[in-house]
């Protein structure tokens, strides 16, 4: 009777151990697939690092590049970060700045594209 009880417990053990191991394997495969998809999306969102070689980028682009490529690769390609995020506004008739120059006025209508800056246009 002891042998039957032993075999019964042994087979129950084998049956219960196969299901969790199959589930863990499937979960690990799904996780690996998700990481691959995420990495591909990040590379598509930022673009190839060679396109940024030797230029200065805004803090927001710098953060995205740093997350995708890392500091070592950014230093290798000599990508630098600017202290501000200046760019054109109002259909290239203005410029986003933290403060406007004396010969410019603040265009409140187009300042939304500048984020925390103001759209400065010539008078």
Chain segment 68-80, per-residue pLDDT in tens: 888 888 888 888 8
Dmax (CA) of the chain: 101
Q: Report how far apart, in Å, the C-alpha atoms of 122 and of each of 14, 41, 87, 105 are.
A: 80, 40, 15, 6
Cβ burial, residue 49 (10 Å; 0-12/13-18/19+): middle
Q: What string of DSSP letters covers 83-101?
A: SS---EETTTTEEEESS--
Q: For domain 47-83, which architecture applies? A: 3-Layer(aba) Sandwich (3.40)
Q: What are the boundaries of each domain within the chain?
A: 1-46, 47-83, 88-122
Q: Which residues contact 47 (CB under 8 A, 6 or more apart)?
A: none
37-66 pLDDT, tens digit per residue, is: 666 665 555 567 777 788 777 777 778 888
CATH of domain 88-122: 2.20.20.10
26-38 pLDDT, tens digit per residue, is: 666 667 677 676 6
């Amino acid at each position: 009777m002891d042998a039957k009880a032993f075999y019964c417990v042994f087979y129950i053990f084998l049956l219960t151990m196969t299901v969790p191991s199959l589930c863990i394997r499937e979960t690990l495969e799904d996780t690996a697939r998700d990481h691959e998809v995420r990495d591909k999306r990040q590379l598509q969102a930022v673009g190839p690092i060679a396109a940024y070689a030797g230029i200065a980028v805004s803090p927001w682009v710098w953060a995205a590049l740093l997350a995708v490529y890392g500091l070592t690769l950014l230093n290798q390609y000599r990508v630098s970060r600017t202290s501000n995020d200046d760019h054109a506004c109002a259909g290239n008739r203005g410029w986003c700045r933290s403060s406007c120059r004396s010969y410019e006025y603040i265009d409140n209508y187009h300042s939304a594209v500048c984020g925390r800056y103001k759209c400065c246009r010539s008078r």
